[in-house]
Protein backbone atom coordinates (compact mmCIF):
# COMPACT_ATOMS: atom_id res chain seq x y z
CA UNK A 1 0.00 0.00 0.00
CA UNK A 2 2.78 2.44 0.87
CA UNK A 3 4.21 2.03 -2.65
CA UNK A 4 1.02 3.40 -4.17
CA UNK A 5 1.20 6.97 -5.42
CA UNK A 6 -2.17 8.11 -4.04
CA UNK A 7 -3.82 7.18 -0.74
CA UNK A 8 -7.20 8.25 0.57
CA UNK A 9 -7.48 9.45 4.14
CA UNK A 10 -9.92 11.36 6.30
CA UNK A 11 -9.74 13.96 9.03
CA UNK A 12 -11.43 13.31 12.39
CA UNK A 13 -12.96 16.80 12.13
CA UNK A 14 -16.11 15.30 10.66
CA UNK A 15 -16.64 13.55 14.00
CA UNK A 16 -15.05 15.88 16.56
CA UNK A 17 -14.03 19.52 16.09
CA UNK A 18 -10.57 20.39 17.39
CA UNK A 19 -11.45 23.95 18.42
CA UNK A 20 -15.16 23.90 19.28
CA UNK A 21 -15.47 21.36 22.11
CA UNK A 22 -19.25 20.97 21.89
CA UNK A 23 -19.10 19.72 18.29
CA UNK A 24 -18.72 15.97 18.55
CA UNK A 25 -17.64 15.86 22.17
CA UNK A 26 -19.78 12.78 22.84
CA UNK A 27 -18.41 10.82 19.87
CA UNK A 28 -15.67 8.44 20.99
CA UNK A 29 -12.36 8.01 19.21
CA UNK A 30 -13.13 4.32 18.76
CA UNK A 31 -16.31 5.15 16.82
CA UNK A 32 -14.41 7.64 14.67
CA UNK A 33 -11.69 5.15 13.78
CA UNK A 34 -14.13 2.31 13.12
CA UNK A 35 -16.33 4.42 10.87
CA UNK A 36 -13.35 5.91 8.99
CA UNK A 37 -12.13 2.42 8.13
CA UNK A 38 -15.63 1.17 7.32
CA UNK A 39 -16.10 4.03 4.86
CA UNK A 40 -13.04 2.77 2.97
CA UNK A 41 -10.24 5.12 4.00
CA UNK A 42 -6.68 3.88 4.43
CA UNK A 43 -5.55 6.59 6.84
CA UNK A 44 -6.55 9.30 9.25
CA UNK A 45 -5.01 12.47 10.67
CA UNK A 46 -4.57 13.22 14.36
CA UNK A 47 -7.36 14.90 16.32
CA UNK A 48 -7.80 16.17 19.86
CA UNK A 49 -9.07 12.83 21.20
CA UNK A 50 -6.08 10.85 19.94
CA UNK A 51 -3.44 9.57 22.39
CA UNK A 52 -0.17 11.46 22.09
CA UNK A 53 2.18 8.53 22.65
CA UNK A 54 2.99 5.89 20.07
CA UNK A 55 2.50 3.12 22.64
CA UNK A 56 -1.11 4.17 23.19
CA UNK A 57 -1.93 5.19 19.62
CA UNK A 58 -0.47 2.28 17.66
CA UNK A 59 -2.84 -0.44 18.96
CA UNK A 60 -5.89 1.72 18.18
CA UNK A 61 -4.78 2.35 14.61
CA UNK A 62 -3.82 -1.30 14.14
CA UNK A 63 -7.19 -2.53 15.38
CA UNK A 64 -8.99 -0.18 12.99
CA UNK A 65 -6.68 -1.01 10.09
CA UNK A 66 -5.69 2.61 9.55
CA UNK A 67 -2.40 4.43 8.98
CA UNK A 68 -1.55 7.77 10.53
CA UNK A 69 -1.47 10.19 7.60
CA UNK A 70 -0.27 13.30 9.41
CA UNK A 71 -0.95 15.65 12.30
CA UNK A 72 -1.32 19.40 12.82
CA UNK A 73 1.32 21.41 14.66
CA UNK A 74 0.44 24.91 15.88
CA UNK A 75 3.62 26.82 15.12
CA UNK A 76 4.74 30.27 16.22
CA UNK A 77 7.72 31.02 14.01
CA UNK A 78 6.29 34.47 13.40
CA UNK A 79 6.97 35.23 17.07
CA UNK A 80 9.74 32.91 18.27
CA UNK A 81 13.07 31.53 17.19
CA UNK A 82 13.74 28.42 15.16
CA UNK A 83 15.39 26.83 18.18
CA UNK A 84 12.31 27.47 20.31
CA UNK A 85 10.05 26.01 17.61
CA UNK A 86 12.29 22.97 17.22
CA UNK A 87 12.03 22.30 20.96
CA UNK A 88 8.26 22.79 20.93
CA UNK A 89 7.69 20.35 18.06
CA UNK A 90 9.87 17.51 19.37
CA UNK A 91 7.32 15.22 21.03
CA UNK A 92 4.79 15.74 18.23
CA UNK A 93 7.35 15.02 15.54
CA UNK A 94 8.54 11.92 17.39
CA UNK A 95 4.95 10.63 17.50
CA UNK A 96 4.46 11.19 13.77
CA UNK A 97 7.77 9.53 12.95
CA UNK A 98 7.11 6.52 15.17
CA UNK A 99 3.63 6.15 13.71
CA UNK A 100 4.88 6.01 10.12
CA UNK A 101 3.79 9.44 8.90
CA UNK A 102 6.15 11.32 6.59
CA UNK A 103 4.42 14.70 6.52
CA UNK A 104 3.69 17.19 9.31
CA UNK A 105 1.05 19.87 8.83
CA UNK A 106 2.26 23.27 10.07
CA UNK A 107 -0.26 26.00 10.95
CA UNK A 108 1.14 29.45 11.75
CA UNK A 109 -0.57 30.68 14.92
CA UNK A 110 1.70 33.65 15.52
CA UNK A 111 0.40 37.20 15.10
CA UNK A 112 -3.21 36.06 15.39
CA UNK A 113 -5.48 38.60 17.13
CA UNK A 114 -6.45 38.21 20.78
CA UNK A 115 -6.68 35.25 23.12
CA UNK A 116 -9.39 33.58 21.02
CA UNK A 117 -8.52 34.60 17.45
CA UNK A 118 -10.90 32.22 15.68
CA UNK A 119 -13.77 34.05 17.38
CA UNK A 120 -12.68 37.36 15.80
CA UNK A 121 -14.23 38.56 12.51
CA UNK A 122 -12.33 37.30 9.47
CA UNK A 123 -11.37 40.89 8.64
CA UNK A 124 -9.01 40.74 11.65
CA UNK A 125 -6.84 38.17 9.86
CA UNK A 126 -3.15 39.09 10.20
CA UNK A 127 -1.50 40.20 6.96
CA UNK A 128 1.72 38.55 5.83
CA UNK A 129 3.14 42.01 5.13
CA UNK A 130 2.80 42.86 8.83
CA UNK A 131 6.17 41.20 9.43
CA UNK A 132 9.50 40.93 7.68
CA UNK A 133 8.59 38.32 5.08
CA UNK A 134 12.18 37.53 4.12
CA UNK A 135 13.08 36.82 7.74
CA UNK A 136 9.95 34.73 8.28
CA UNK A 137 10.59 32.73 5.11
CA UNK A 138 14.17 32.07 6.25
CA UNK A 139 12.97 30.76 9.62
CA UNK A 140 10.31 28.50 8.10
CA UNK A 141 12.88 27.16 5.64
CA UNK A 142 15.38 26.44 8.40
CA UNK A 143 12.69 24.77 10.49
CA UNK A 144 11.68 22.59 7.52
CA UNK A 145 15.29 21.44 7.15
CA UNK A 146 15.43 20.52 10.84
CA UNK A 147 12.16 18.61 10.63
CA UNK A 148 13.42 16.56 7.70
CA UNK A 149 16.91 15.88 9.01
CA UNK A 150 15.90 14.96 12.57
CA UNK A 151 12.60 13.16 11.99
CA UNK A 152 12.33 12.39 8.28
CA UNK A 153 9.21 14.55 8.09
CA UNK A 154 8.34 16.94 5.28
CA UNK A 155 6.91 20.24 6.46
CA UNK A 156 3.50 20.82 4.92
CA UNK A 157 2.63 24.48 5.40
CA UNK A 158 -1.12 25.10 5.71
CA UNK A 159 -2.47 28.28 4.13
CA UNK A 160 -5.47 29.03 6.34
CA UNK A 161 -8.20 31.55 7.04
CA UNK A 162 -7.25 33.88 9.94
CA UNK A 163 -3.56 33.03 9.59
CA UNK A 164 -0.58 34.85 8.09
CA UNK A 165 -0.66 33.08 4.75
CA UNK A 166 -4.26 33.23 3.60
CA UNK A 167 -4.86 35.11 0.34
CA UNK A 168 -3.48 34.25 -3.09
CA UNK A 169 -0.82 36.97 -3.19
CA UNK A 170 0.37 35.93 0.30
CA UNK A 171 0.67 32.28 -0.66
CA UNK A 172 2.48 33.18 -3.87
CA UNK A 173 4.96 35.41 -2.03
CA UNK A 174 5.50 32.88 0.74
CA UNK A 175 6.25 30.02 -1.65
CA UNK A 176 8.50 32.25 -3.76
CA UNK A 177 10.62 33.29 -0.77
CA UNK A 178 10.85 29.97 1.09
CA UNK A 179 13.22 27.17 0.13
CA UNK A 180 12.27 24.05 -1.78
CA UNK A 181 12.27 22.11 1.51
CA UNK A 182 9.08 23.92 2.57
CA UNK A 183 6.16 21.87 1.32
CA UNK A 184 2.54 22.90 1.01
CA UNK A 185 -0.78 21.54 2.23
CA UNK A 186 -3.12 22.47 -0.58
CA UNK A 187 -6.52 22.91 1.08
CA UNK A 188 -9.37 23.35 -1.40
CA UNK A 189 -11.80 24.92 1.08
CA UNK A 190 -9.41 27.46 2.57
CA UNK A 191 -8.14 28.26 -0.93
CA UNK A 192 -11.51 29.13 -2.42
CA UNK A 193 -12.72 31.00 0.66
CA UNK A 194 -9.58 33.18 0.59
CA UNK A 195 -9.45 33.74 -3.17
CA UNK A 196 -6.55 31.42 -3.94
CA UNK A 197 -6.40 30.35 -7.59
CA UNK A 198 -5.87 26.58 -7.47
CA UNK A 199 -4.79 26.34 -11.11
CA UNK A 200 -2.16 29.06 -10.79
CA UNK A 201 -0.74 27.56 -7.60
CA UNK A 202 -0.57 24.01 -8.95
CA UNK A 203 0.93 25.22 -12.23
CA UNK A 204 3.68 27.25 -10.58
CA UNK A 205 4.23 25.42 -7.30
CA UNK A 206 2.83 21.95 -7.89
CA UNK A 207 6.17 20.37 -7.03
CA UNK A 208 5.89 21.88 -3.54
CA UNK A 209 2.53 20.23 -2.77
CA UNK A 210 3.15 17.39 -0.30
CA UNK A 211 -0.32 16.98 1.22
CA UNK A 212 -3.88 17.70 0.05
CA UNK A 213 -7.00 18.51 2.07
CA UNK A 214 -10.28 18.13 0.22
CA UNK A 215 -13.26 20.05 1.54
CA UNK A 216 -15.98 22.03 -0.16
CA UNK A 217 -17.66 25.40 0.35
CA UNK A 218 -21.37 26.19 0.56
CA UNK A 219 -21.68 29.27 -1.65
CA UNK A 220 -24.62 30.82 0.18
CA UNK A 221 -22.85 30.50 3.53
CA UNK A 222 -19.63 31.97 2.11
CA UNK A 223 -21.60 34.96 0.86
CA UNK A 224 -23.13 35.42 4.32
CA UNK A 225 -19.75 35.02 6.05
CA UNK A 226 -18.21 37.69 3.83
CA UNK A 227 -21.17 40.06 3.99
CA UNK A 228 -21.51 39.86 7.78
CA UNK A 229 -17.76 39.51 8.46
CA UNK A 230 -18.31 36.44 10.63
CA UNK A 231 -15.57 34.77 12.61
CA UNK A 232 -14.01 31.51 11.52
CA UNK A 233 -15.76 29.63 14.33
CA UNK A 234 -19.11 31.22 13.45
CA UNK A 235 -18.53 30.26 9.83
CA UNK A 236 -17.95 26.65 10.86
CA UNK A 237 -21.09 26.63 12.98
CA UNK A 238 -23.04 28.16 10.10
CA UNK A 239 -21.96 25.32 7.81
CA UNK A 240 -19.41 27.04 5.57
CA UNK A 241 -17.54 23.79 4.96
CA UNK A 242 -18.86 20.50 3.64
CA UNK A 243 -17.32 17.35 2.22
CA UNK A 244 -15.90 17.51 -1.33
CA UNK A 245 -18.43 17.27 -4.11
CA UNK A 246 -21.27 18.82 -2.14
CA UNK A 247 -20.47 22.51 -2.49
CA UNK A 248 -19.56 25.11 -5.11
CA UNK A 249 -15.87 24.36 -5.74
CA UNK A 250 -14.73 23.53 -9.27
CA UNK A 251 -12.17 20.78 -8.68
CA UNK A 252 -11.14 20.37 -12.34
CA UNK A 253 -7.69 21.98 -11.94
CA UNK A 254 -6.94 19.99 -8.79
CA UNK A 255 -8.11 16.76 -10.42
CA UNK A 256 -5.87 17.52 -13.38
CA UNK A 257 -2.95 18.15 -11.04
CA UNK A 258 -3.36 14.88 -9.15
CA UNK A 259 -3.86 12.93 -12.37
CA UNK A 260 -0.99 14.31 -14.43
CA UNK A 261 1.63 15.45 -11.92
CA UNK A 262 4.18 13.53 -9.89
CA UNK A 263 2.22 14.14 -6.68
CA UNK A 264 2.67 11.25 -4.30
CA UNK A 265 0.78 11.31 -1.02
CA UNK A 266 -2.56 11.60 0.67
CA UNK A 267 -5.90 12.98 -0.39
CA UNK A 268 -7.52 13.82 2.94
CA UNK A 269 -11.27 14.37 3.09
CA UNK A 270 -11.76 17.10 5.66
CA UNK A 271 -14.85 19.08 6.60
CA UNK A 272 -15.44 20.97 9.83
CA UNK A 273 -19.13 20.21 10.26
CA UNK A 274 -21.54 19.89 13.17
CA UNK A 275 -22.04 16.11 13.56
CA UNK A 276 -25.56 16.77 14.87
CA UNK A 277 -26.43 18.34 11.50
CA UNK A 278 -24.30 16.18 9.19
CA UNK A 279 -24.05 12.56 10.30
CA UNK A 280 -20.31 11.82 10.04
CA UNK A 281 -20.32 8.29 8.65
CA UNK A 282 -22.83 9.09 5.93
CA UNK A 283 -20.97 12.29 4.93
CA UNK A 284 -17.49 10.77 4.74
CA UNK A 285 -18.84 7.70 2.94
CA UNK A 286 -20.35 9.89 0.23
CA UNK A 287 -17.07 11.81 0.06
CA UNK A 288 -15.07 8.59 -0.31
CA UNK A 289 -17.18 7.49 -3.28
CA UNK A 290 -17.02 10.96 -4.84
CA UNK A 291 -13.23 11.14 -4.49
CA UNK A 292 -12.82 7.71 -6.02
CA UNK A 293 -15.08 8.58 -8.95
CA UNK A 294 -13.54 11.97 -9.67
CA UNK A 295 -9.89 12.01 -8.62
CA UNK A 296 -8.99 8.36 -9.05
CA UNK A 297 -11.08 7.15 -11.96
CA UNK A 298 -8.44 7.85 -14.61
CA UNK A 299 -5.42 6.67 -12.60
CA UNK A 300 -3.79 3.25 -13.16
CA UNK A 301 -4.81 0.77 -10.46
CA UNK A 302 -1.23 0.37 -9.26
CA UNK A 303 -1.05 4.07 -8.33
CA UNK A 304 -3.99 3.85 -5.91
CA UNK A 305 -3.87 2.32 -2.44
CA UNK A 306 -6.65 -0.23 -1.96
From CA 243, how far away is CA 214, in angstroms rounded? Answer: 7
Q: Is it the case that residue 306 has pLDDT exceeding 80?
A: no
Residue 159 is assigned to a structural domain of this protein: yes
Which helix (H) or strand (E) segment holds residue 173: the answer is: helix 168-177
Q: Is it the case that residue 1 has pLDDT exceeding 60?
A: no
The total domain count for the chain is 1
Q: Is residue 96 a contact partner of residue 153, using CB atoms and an 8 Å limit?
A: yes
Kindly state the average pLDDT of the residues 45-72.
98
What is the model's pLDDT at position 217?
98
Residue 306 is assigned to a structural domain of this protein: no
What is the model's pLDDT at position 191?
98
pLDDT digits 0-9 by tens, 159-208 = 999 999 999 999 999 999 999 999 999 999 999 999 999 999 999 999 99
Q: Where are the beta strands (DSSP E) in 117-220?
A: 154-158, 182-187, 209-214, 216-217
The share of the chain scoring above pLDDT 90, in percent, equals 95
Residue 1 is assigned to a structural domain of this protein: no
Kindly state the average pLDDT of the residues 55-60.
98
Q: Whole-model pTM?
A: 0.97
Kindly state the average pLDDT of the residues 39-56.
98
Q: Is residue 1 a contact partner of residue 42, using CB atoms and an 8 Å limit?
A: yes
The whole domain housing 94 covers 6-298
CATH of the domain at 276: 3.20.20.150
Q: Is it the case that residue 3 has pLDDT exceeding 80?
A: no
Residue 136 is assigned to a structural domain of this protein: yes
Show Cβ contacts of residue 271 under 8 Å, excluding neighbours closer than 6 positions.
Answer: 11, 13, 14, 189, 215, 216, 241, 242, 243, 244, 278, 283, 287
Q: Is it the case that residue 4 has pLDDT exceeding 90?
A: no
- SS3 percent helix, strand, coil of the chain, rounded to 5, is 45, 15, 35
**The total number of residues written for the chain in this structure:** 306
- Phi and psi angles of residue 62, each rounded to the nearest 5 degrees, phi first: -65, -45
Residue 305 is assigned to a structural domain of this protein: no
Kindly state the average pLDDT of the residues 69-75.
98
Lowest pLDDT segment from 17-21, 279-283, 296-300: 296-300
Residue 280 is assigned to a structural domain of this protein: yes
What is the model's pLDDT at position 2?
46
pLDDT digits 0-9 by tens, 120-141 = 999 999 999 999 999 999 999 9
Residue 265's pLDDT band, with cuts at 50, 70 and 90, is very high
Amino acid sequence: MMNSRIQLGVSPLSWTNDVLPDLGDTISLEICLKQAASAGYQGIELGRKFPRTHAALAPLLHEAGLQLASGWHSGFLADRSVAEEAAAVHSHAELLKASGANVMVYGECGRMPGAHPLDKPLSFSPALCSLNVDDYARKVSEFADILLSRYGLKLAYHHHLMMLVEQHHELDEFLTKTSESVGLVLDSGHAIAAGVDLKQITTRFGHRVVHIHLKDIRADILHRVQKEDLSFNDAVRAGLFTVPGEGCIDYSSLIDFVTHSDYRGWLIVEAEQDPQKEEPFAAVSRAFRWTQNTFLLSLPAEEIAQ
